[in-house]
Amino acid sequence: MRKGPVCVALLLVGLARPASSVASPEANALAQQRYDEGLAALDKQDFEGARLSLLQAYAIDPQPKYLFSLAVAEDKAGHALEALGHLRQYEALPTTTEADRDKARAVVAAAAGKVGHVRVEAPPSTAIVVDGSTPAGVTPLAAPIDLAPGRHTLEARLGANVASTVVSPQGGETVVWQLQFAPAAPTAPAPVPATTLAPTYDTPSGKPPASARWLASAGLFVAGLGTVAVMGGFLSAASDEADKWSVLAAQTGTCPQPPMNPQCTALKDAADRRATDENVAIGLGVTAGALAVAAVVTFLVWPERKAAASRAWIGPLVAPGVGGAQWSQAF
């Protein structure tokens, strides 16, 4: 049985040792054993088990063949981002031949199609940080930044200038962030963080994202329906009170005002409750009608943003000391 603390210790030792170091015979034997276990797990399509065994093998003895097999297992186990990082590391090794790179290209393509990518076009020496804490390098970047599909924050720093944006690349999609810092005037105040419009994206169907007009109109319409439902409840209560009043009226006959006995008091209470429920229902009906009118007016008056003519969506970048543009495009 493999014990978790032992596996963690082996991983930390392997990652701390330079790849050029020579492991002891015992460590080499253990790494080979984990490698063989990983290949056997791959044959059985136990991809997660294969990933863990190969991760240990590479941590103990960082051989290129261990790294490549680990990337294959990671991709099949659903860890495409980690797989792509290890594949790029494998391709950059000085010992990797062109034949090895050809073999890796199919795995690279499979993993790249499952993660998002961001290509940054900015002045040289601009430092890029992802999600506030992960350095992504300094421009010019050799390759797009690989990200898990979903929402991410990018920040660019060049001297005292700062710009940021939010991107949400999907699997296989490349978002391009282009920005240019304007030179600061000698007497200008200290730069402030730039603000950028949220980038828009081309959907797989080729249609632009849903308009806010539809959301606002639908919200008002749903509120109107809810008001109608509440109004129905009060009308039903008023009908019940009317039936109760009819029964009591048949039993008590004509009552003096103010009522002088319990039967007449109950008759008056039933009449008052019916009137209250009817008045509330009328008010809710007026409210429901106003919401319906507001929904229609919002739908007709709200300006519709025109869809882009191509698969590229562009957003401006403006701030004191910063100017440029950003766009996203699927490749």
Convert the pLDDT of each residue in 142-199 to its tens digit. Answer: 888 988 888 898 989 888 888 889 988 888 888 898 888 876 555 556 665 655 555 5
Of 45, 43, 49, 70, residue with least CA distance to 59: 70
Its pTM stands at 0.45
Amino acid at residue number 63: Q
Amino acid 281: pLDDT: 76
- Separation CA 65–CA 27 (nearest Å): 16
Residues 6+ apart with CB under 8 A from 298: 213, 216, 217, 220
Phi–psi pair at 330, nearest 5 degrees? -85, 135
Query: Cα–chain-centroid distance for residue 228?
Result: 35
Amino acid 36: pLDDT: 92
- The mean per-residue pLDDT over the stretch 112-122 comes to 86
Q: What's the whole-number average pLDDT of the chain?
A: 75
Whether 199 and 52 map to the same domain: the answer is no
Amino acid 39: pLDDT: 94
Number of domains in the chain: 3
| Res. 12: pLDDT tops 60 | no
- Separation CA 288–CA 292 (nearest Å): 6
Last residue of a domain, which of 90, 112, 134?
A: 112
Query: Cα–chain-centroid distance for residue 314?
Result: 20
Of 42, 64, 69, 40, residue with least CA distance to 54: 69
Range of the structural domain that residue 125 is part of? 116-207+310-330
| Res. 19: pLDDT tops 80 | no
- The mean per-residue pLDDT over the stretch 271-276 comes to 81
Amino acid 199: pLDDT: 54
Residues 6+ apart with CB under 8 A from 29: none
Whether 68 and 135 map to the same domain: the answer is no
Beta strands in the chain (DSSP E): 116-121, 127-130, 134-138, 145-147, 152-158, 161-167, 173-181, 195-196, 313-319, 322-330
Whether 106 and 8 map to the same domain: the answer is yes
Whether 151 and 272 map to the same domain: the answer is no
The answer to whether 60 and 19 have CB atoms below 8 angstroms apart is no
Amino acid 18: pLDDT: 39
| Res. 46: pLDDT tops 90 | yes
Amino acid 34: pLDDT: 92
Whether 121 and 203 map to the same domain: the answer is yes
Whether 189 and 317 map to the same domain: the answer is yes
Compare 326 and 139 and report the one with higher pLDDT: 139
Neighbours of 241 (CB within 10 A): 20
User: How far from each other are the two terminal CA atoms of the chain, in whole angstroms?
Assistant: 46
Whether 247 and 314 map to the same domain: the answer is no
